[in-house]
Structures are given as C-alpha cells and as structure tokens.
C-alpha cells in the first residue's frame, strides 16, 4: 500500500506527526461530546447522599458529571503514575533512591490525608483546585511544545498571561464578585477587552496555525463567563453548582485528552496502552470499578481510593508526584555532574 492510500485508511489520531502535538481540534471536539454525554446519562452513577457531603443537594445529572470527571481523572492518574515509573527506570536512580522517592510519596499522602481531615472536604478541595492552576499551565505549555523544566513560576505565568487573564475573569463571574452578574454592560465590556488581549497578544496567529491550545481555552473561558454571567441571575444554588461542575468537566476532559494525544505522538504511536482503544478501555474499566464501589457494599473498601468524595485528595497526590520526580531528577543530574 502506498503512502497516499495509507493516509486514507489510518485515522488521523494515529498518524505520526513531525512534532509531538496535543491535537487541540480533536481534544476540543471530544471534550464537547464527553461533557454532553456525562450530563445526559439516564442512570444514577452514585448515591445522592455522596453529593450532600460537600455540595449539598445535587441533581442526578450534575452528580453524574462529577463522577465521570473523577473516574476519568483516576484513569489519567494511572497513566501519569505509569509514566513516572518509566521515568524512574530511565534515570537509573538505584534501589535506594527509588525507595526514597516512594517514601516521599507515602509521606505526602499521609500529610494530605491529615490536611483534608483538618480543613474539611470543601475547603481542602478549594485549596487543591487553586494549586492545580499552575499544574494546568505547565501541562498546557508542554502540550504546545514549550519546555517548562527551566521555567520559574513567575516566568511561566507571565508567558501564559492571556490564559491567566481569561481564567481570572471567568472565576470573577462564577463567584459573582462585585455583583458582576447583574452588571450586563460590565460583563460584555470586560469580556470584549479580555478577548482583544488574547487575540492581539498572539492568539490569532496561534489559532490560525491550528497547533496551540491556549487560545482555545481562553476563548472558551470568556464565552463561558458571558453565558453564565447572563443566566446565573435567574438560577439558585442548584443551577450555580451545575455551572461550577460544567466548568470543571470541560477543563478536565480537555486536559485528560490532551495528555493522551501528546503522549501518543511523543512515543511515535508504539505504546499500545496509548492507542485510542486502549485509552477508552482503561477509562471504562475505571468507571466500572468506581460505579461498583459506589453501588455495592462489599466493594466499599475501595471508596477512599476511587470514591468521588475522595477525588480531590488524589488530585493533590497527582500534583505532588508530578513535582517530586523533576526534583529527584535535578538532584540526580547535579550529583552526576
């Protein structure tokens, strides 16, 4: 089969590119579909009592979305832990330093469990999501082909100022700071200004290239601010909770999908666990286990691991493990040099 014929047969997600890419168009399209499917599921995935632990009364549909995001997140963590384990092997730390790394992870887990107990589930979750912002920025810059290893926090945030502005604006609107939801012209005016900053600051060129994710996220945040800022005045607590979960779901799915697509291309498609079918299989497996743990008492022992009320704890563990490996890598490099 010649090259032209092969390109017609192989799906685009499986085609090898010259440079690793997170395929923003594919990730965005699938994100829209996954958010819609998560809301539309006609069955209850977890008991209603779970949602009351930290968000009060939640409709079945909203709780289902959070459950899908949490279980998809656990699949994402499994791939991340696998990648970190592969990184440890490549760095050839030796048994002693590998045990030290695992001990640091175990100590971090114990500390995070204690912090969750002290702060409570809601406040702990808020702290974790705030901390997650920098991880998200680093991931998005990596997916756009930027090396973030040598970047400091300030440099990274300045380089991502357009996305930070857009995220800050949608946060202001979702939290209704300054009663902005009742100031329609302010809502429109600031959104237009943030859009201008995004496009004039390089976003237009990046969108035209088709390879960058940052402008897509920024414009999504701005559009989200306009929609929810307009309609939240007519909604109560249940509506606002649904809006918040929608925001988490869209950003999370986009992040998960981008990580799979980037990893697949970075490995030139040779890693079978990163093929689309394998990724779908792993995610469905986690969903089945999570649903079973929520439904059957004899699987209740799995709740602290995969129960959605514990999701933010494992997000925090994921953040810590992502930071620990580069630290160990730098120390190893300094020791060798």
Which value, in Å, is the radius of gyration of the alpha carbons in the chain? 21
Angle at 61 between CA 60 and CA 63, to 5 degrees: 65
* 327 Cβ contact partners less than 8 Å away, ≥ 6 residues apart: none
Residue 252: which of 8, 30, 83, 14 has the closest Cα? 30
Could you read off the pLDDT of 117-173 as tens digits, one per residue?
998 888 888 888 778 777 777 777 777 666 666 666 666 666 677 888 888 888 888
Let me know: does 185 contact 236? Beta carbons within 8 Å: no
Let me know: does 328 contact 97? Beta carbons within 8 Å: yes
Could you read off the pLDDT of 65-115 as tens digits, one per residue?
999 999 999 999 999 999 888 877 777 666 777 788 888 889 999 999 999
> Can you read off the two tokens belonging to residue 139?
């991931």
Could you read off the pLDDT of 300-337 as tens digits, one per residue?
899 999 999 899 999 999 988 888 877 777 666 555 55
Q: What is the pTM of this model?
A: 0.81
Helical segments of the chain, H only? 3-9, 24-40, 48-51, 60-91, 95-119, 121-143, 153-159, 161-174, 184-198, 204-209, 214-231, 237-266, 276-295, 303-306, 311-336
Residue 198: which of 165, 155, 172, 229 has the closest Cα? 165
Please tell me the distance from the alpha carbon of residue 65 to that of residue 51, in angstroms, as a whole number: 12
> Can you read off the two tokens belonging to residue 138?
């680093």
């Amino acid at each position: 089969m010649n090259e032209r014929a092969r390109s017609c047969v192989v799906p685009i997600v499986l085609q090898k590119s010259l440079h690793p890419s997170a395929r923003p168009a594919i990730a965005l399209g699938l994100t829209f579909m996954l958010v819609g499917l998560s809301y539309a599921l006609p069955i209850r995935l977890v008991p209603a009592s779970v949602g009351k632990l930290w968000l009060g009364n939640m409709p079945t549909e909203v709780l289902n979305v959070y459950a899908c995001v949490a279980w998809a997140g656990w699949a994402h963590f499994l791939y991340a832990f696998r990648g970190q384990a592969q990184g440890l092997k490549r760095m050839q730390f030796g048994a002693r330093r590998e045990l030290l790394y695992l001990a640091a992870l175990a100590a971090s887990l114990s500390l995070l469990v204690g912090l969750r107990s002290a702060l409570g589930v809601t406040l702990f979750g808020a702290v974790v999501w705030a901390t997650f912002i920098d991880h998200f920025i680093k991931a998005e810059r990596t997916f756009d082909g930027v090396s973030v290893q040598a970047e400091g926090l300030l440099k990274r945030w300045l380089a991502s100022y357009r996305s930070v502005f857009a995220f800050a604006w949608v946060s202001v609107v979702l939290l209704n700071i300054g009663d902005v939801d009742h100031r329609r012209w302010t809502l429109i005016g600031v959104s237009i200004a943030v859009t201008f900053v995004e496009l004039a600051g390089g976003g237009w060129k990046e969108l035209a290239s088709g390879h960058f994710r940052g402008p897509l996220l920024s414009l999504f945040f701005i559009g989200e601010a306009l929609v929810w800022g307009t309609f939240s005045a007519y909604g109560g607590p249940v509506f606002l909770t649904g809006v918040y979960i929608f925001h988490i779901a869209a950003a999370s799915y986009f992040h998960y999908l981008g990580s799979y697509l980037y990893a697949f291309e970075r490995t030139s498609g040779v890693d079978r666990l990163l093929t689309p079918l394998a990724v779908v299989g792993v995610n469905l497996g986690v969903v089945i286990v999570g649903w079973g743990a929520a439904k059957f008492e004899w699987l209740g022992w799995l709740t602290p691991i995969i129960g959605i009320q514990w999701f933010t704890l494992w997000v925090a563990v994921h953040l810590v493990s992502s930071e620990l490996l580069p630290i160990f890598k730098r120390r190893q490099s300094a020791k060798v040099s």
